[in-house]
Amino acid sequence: MTHGLMLGKYSLGVGDRFAHQAKAQLQACIEAEKAGVEVIPVWNKSNREHNIIGSEPASTRAAADAAVKAMGWKKPYFCDADHINLTTVDRFMASCDFYTIDVADAIGKAADAAAIDHFLKRRSDLAGTVRLEGVDQTFTITPAMLRATAEKFLHAVQEAGQVYRRIEAAKGQGNFITEVSMDETDSAQTPAELLIILSAIADEGIPVQTIAPKFTGRFNKGVDYVGDVAQFRKEIDLDVAAIAWAVKHFGLPFNLKLSVHSGSDKFSIYSAIHEATKQSGVHLKTAGTTWLEEIIGLAEAGGDGLALAKEIYAEAYAHREELCAPYATVIDIDPAKLPQPAVVAKWTSEQYTATLRHDQHSSQYNSSFRQLLHVGFKIAAKMGPRYLDLLESNEAVIAKNVTGNLFDRHIAPVFLGKPSPVAVLEHAEAR
């Protein structure tokens, strides 16, 4: 469809809440290169995150550019305006070259009747049996299904078209990567719906390179996938095949691939993602996992770092309801499992890091503690220079954790097909 900026086969969305870890994150991509796989870094930060932290998109761009320069990275890299819409996109025009157009809020709002009829006429040949390549499966799209899907999604896709054209007018065609996301909604899209949605995206002329559907199962922040792994595998295989079919039949960009949001720490589905996307490639967004590694690094450092990590937990505990509210649908915290701040205050570095670090081998690992801190970055943002100064004085220990987490626990299983931390655990138990 267009020739301009292209996203490579494998890409990693890295969130850097406080814009201090870009070098450590890039180091993980450099290690990937040494291990034989090209992983393109994409620094993503949503409007919501910028608002909570009080930062501007220009700071993400500056940190990414500085890291690329310092590390001598010669391959592409991008800054992603994550989850933007018509009302929030303008702020990101100057600094970003990757736009995740979020249309989830428009799903279910009906497009006007004439537009729906026009779509149904134009795409009437979709009704019938679709034989997907690569999976031993066909699906049947009935005229009623086509209509129901258009009624549910066409308005949302039209809105994506408006946002796309606004960005194109500001930046010029081919000068940015476009993603369309529908993940922050209640129900998963079926592969047949995905196919129909992609036809509508093609009609809107959006040169989409990544698409983020909602998958079945829970993608909670910072913790493992909760759901039926075998079912997920079937679904992602069909999604990949539906995308390949759509590329061929609707003239979408040939490199169109899946984007997996809230993709950090979903260890139990990494081998499924790797197997399903070996040919097509995949974009994995990891966002908040880096912020948790900052806390782990501070706790590991001991002294002032450990004291601050404890203080952040105590504050997060005190404000847990307010911190959790915006993330209610993507966290599962058991309040009874949250340790009292007075208890945490007596912990050693080892106790704190073992409780927080996402190591399912460890009997000390506490997913409620981890999720509360995951949404607690507002506390650190309020601390301002007190937090940032400690990040700087403990750079080495933090960087080791940030790089190691991204490479060992994310890049290795997803892009290199190495066993994920969970598979290692199961293997050890089986022996």
Enumerate binding residues for Zn ion (CB under 5 A).
183, 261
* Comparison of 227 and 305: residue with beta carbon closer to Zn ion: 227
In whole angstroms, the minimum distance from the beta carbon of 57 to Zn ion comes to 17
Q: Give the closest residue to 206 by CA, choosing from 326, 293, 103, 296.
A: 103
Least separation in angstroms between residue 27's CB and Zn ion is 25
Cβ within 8 Å of residue 112, ≥6 positions away: none
Of the two residues 15 and 413, which places its CB atom closer to Zn ion in the complex?
15
The SS3 of residue 287 is: coil
Distance in angstroms (rounded) separating the CA atoms of residues 257 and 28: 22
23/266 with CB nearer Zn ion? 266
Nearer to Zn ion, 100 or 394 (CB): 100
Q: Of 84 and 379, which has the nearer Cβ to Zn ion?
A: 84
Q: How far is the CB of 180 from Zn ion (least distance, A)?
A: 11
Residue facing Zn ion at closest CB distance = 261
Alpha carbon distance 179, 53 (integer Å):
24
CB 100 to Zn ion: min, Å:
7
Angle (nearest 5°) at CA 349 between 344 and 354? 80
CB of 65 to Zn ion, least distance (A): 24
Amino acid identity of residue 84, one-letter, is I
Q: How far apart are the first and last CA of the chain?
A: 52
Q: State the minimum distance, in angstroms, from the CB of residue 46 to Zn ion.
A: 8
CB nearer to Zn ion: pick between 123 and 261: 261
Shortest distance, position 289 Cβ to Zn ion, whole Å: 14
Q: Look at residues 237, 199, 205, 231 and name the one whose alpha carbon lies nearest to residue 218.
A: 231
Chain centre distance of CA 211: 11
Closest to Zn ion by CB, 180 vs 299, is: 180
- Residue 283 zone, left/alpha/beta (φ > 0; ψ -120 to 50; rest): beta
Between β-strands 78-84 and 282-285, what pairing exists: parallel, antiparallel or unpaired?
unpaired
Q: Strands, DSSP E only, in 134-217?
A: 138-141, 177-181, 208-212
